[in-house]
Amino acid sequence: MISLHFLFVIVLVVLGLSAVVFKRNMIKIVMGLNVIAGGVNLFLISMGYRQGAVAPIFTNAPDLLMVLPTPQALTLTAIVINLTVTALMLSFIIMLYKHYRSLDSFKRRLLG
């Protein structure tokens, strides 16, 4: 049986992919990529989850089951990278809008 976390991951990734593939507005495409990144981050956190586990900050409790800290660190890194990539993409979109006066990616391809 599929867990509810993974169902949400699938929904987020499919929604983001549909926005990237079917939308023509460049800002909506960037928003779709951010939704995909949110799904990937949820997947990473879900993979590190353990039922009944405690946070890994308690170092004096060797008998307790701990949540895996590596997916949490990867998720924090992915959030920072996603923020910088989004800022870069939006700055490129602003430059393209100043040049072509349109946010439509299809029209930009036709103009050459």
Q: Is 60 among the domain residues?
A: no
Q: Is 72 among the domain residues?
A: yes
The CA distance from 72 to 68, in Å, is 7
Number of domains in the chain: 1
pTM, two decimals, is 0.85
Q: Could you list the residue range(s) of the whole structural domain that residue 18 is in?
A: 4-50+66-111
Residue 61: the pLDDT is 64
Residue 55: the pLDDT is 74
Residue 17: the pLDDT is 98
Six-digit token string for 29: 């495409």
Residue 105: the pLDDT is 81
**69-100 vs 26-47: helix crossing angle, rounded to 10:** 180
CB 42 within 8 A of CB 9: yes
Closest by Cα among 3, 2, 81, 89 to 41: 81
Measured from the Cβ of residue 61, the count of other Cβ atoms closer than 10 Å reads 10
Q: Is 61 among the domain residues?
A: no
Residue 112: the pLDDT is 52
Residues of the chain with pLDDT under 50: none
Residue 86: the pLDDT is 98
Residues in the chain: 112
CATH code, domain carrying 103: 1.10.287.3510
Residue 110: the pLDDT is 55
pLDDT per position as a tens digit, 27-54:
999 999 999 999 999 999 988 887 877 7
